Amino acid sequence: MSTIGVSIAIPEPWATRLQNYRTSIGDESATKIPTHITLVPPLEAEDMDAVESHLSAVAERTSRFEIHLRGTGTFRPVSPVVFVGVVRGISECEQLANVARSGPLGQELDFPYHPHVTIAHHLPSEALDRAFSELADFECQFEASEFHLYVHDEQVGWRISRSFALAGEPSGVPAPDVPATPNSEG
């Protein structure tokens, strides 16, 4: 069994800039977490072939789309997280995440899905306040042309296992009618 997740990787140079910022304020977990927008949060998967087949079907039916990150937000007081906000591509991320979280990756979320890029997590309030303030002017734009299956390794952290290119021309909305892959649970 593997611990996996599915995310859109933030491209360079912004990925390194945000990861370096995260470690500079004391969030050492960032050294093992590539900068990303989560689509499917961590879960245990037994049948990787079924997972990859499902994600291939999702990618084949999904169009590329534009993402614009700007400013900061927080989940406090519910969760000690500060993030960079997605201001364009929100609905596309939501729809892609919803389709990806079906079939063998079906799961109930603890909180409603909210696409974002974490920049500070489980730090003292002063560090969270600092991140919220210092990255308030952060901004970048890029095309989401693929997403990634990540596998967690205790020693090295999260690593890309496979990439899935979004097949369609940019249209702004992923197709919601991807056929569900049979669940491997029996």
Integer CA distances (angstroms), 124 to 26, 34, 83, 131, 145, in order: 9, 22, 15, 11, 36
pLDDT in tens, 88-141: 999 999 999 999 999 999 988 888 999 999 999 999 999 999 999 999 999 999
CATH number of 2-165: 3.90.1140.10
pLDDT in tens, 11-62: 999 999 999 999 999 998 899 999 999 999 999 998 999 999 999 999 999 9
pLDDT confidence band for 169 (50 / 70 / 90):
low
Omega cis (within 30) before 77: yes
Please compute, for residue 99, the number of CA atoms within 13 A of its CA located in the half-sphere on the CB side.
Answer: 23
Q: Dihedral through CA 36, CA 39, CA 45, CA 51, nearest 10?
A: -110
